[in-house]
Amino acid sequence: MKPLDFKDLIIFENEDFIVINKPPYIASLDERQADNALSILRLAKAYSDDAQLCHRLDKETSGVLAIAKNPEAYRHLSMQFEHRETVKRYHAVVNGVHNFQGESVYLPILALPRDGVVKIDRAKGKEAETLFFTLKAYRQYTIVECLPITGRMHQIRIHLTCLKAPIVADSTYGGKPVYLSQLKRKFNLKKDTDEQPLMKRVALHAYSLTFNLLNGEEVKIEAPYPKDFEVLVKQLEKNG
């Protein structure tokens, strides 16, 4: 694998902000246990000294991530996130066939820090809301657009599970992997080999982010699907 070049990730840049298409498997912030592991924050600071992440994505999640280049830009965008003035759109491939037309899930989420997971807890949970729209349904799977109104950890993942539509390969919240043999009628696996799933991570991608620049101009930045997500969608198109 060739070393990661931060410049290759950039999909928008001006004097205040850098927006990247984050690859999967790289943490947004430095992880406590891994001293030398790569993080987006570390790469961003090497590129621009005062870089600060305005939000974060789970390690496995790919897609749009906004980074401020100076304190004023950081405050400006952080306030937009806090006041829910940004629009975040995620795409997920989920198990099952679903027709969501602005389906709202409004269920409070409690993080269990020791286990690194969350659960729905009506008594102790924090307010959480997500809207869901079906983009395309296949025979056994659906591509769903997810609009988180709040920004809780694992919010989209657990809210989809509440709709009985867990994300593909999200074993934590009940999602099952997709194998080519499930999609293709004629499928021959080489002898003595185990079939690998089409996607080895949670099939969730931060597709776009809409926010205001410092001059008040609204921008909407879209991040193309990474390779593994695209392969899964192409196979669903072809055989799904």
Neighbours of 182 (CB within 10 A): 18
Residue 161: CB partners within 8 Å, gap ≥ 6? 170, 173, 174, 175
Spatial contact of 182 and 140, defined as CB atoms under 8 Å apart: yes
Q: What's the Cα-to-Cα distance from 25 to each of 126, 155, 168, rounded to whole Å?
A: 27, 19, 16
Q: By C-alpha distance, which of 148, 144, 166 is closest to 104? A: 148
Q: What's the Cα-to-Cα distance from 74 to each of 55, 200, 232, rounded to whole Å?
A: 10, 34, 35
Whether 58 is catalytic: yes
Residue 45 backbone dihedrals phi, psi, to 5 degrees = -70, -30
Active-site residue identified among 58, 115, 192, 228: 58
Q: What's the Cα-to-Cα distance from 235 to each of 52, 83, 175, 182, 186, rounded to whole Å?
A: 37, 39, 18, 11, 14
The tokens of 18 are what?
A: 């850098």
3-state secondary structure of 120: strand
Q: What's the CA gap between 8 and 5, in Å, rounded?
A: 6
How many Cα atoms within 13 Å fall on the side-chain side of residue 143?
18
Residues annotated as part of the active site: 58
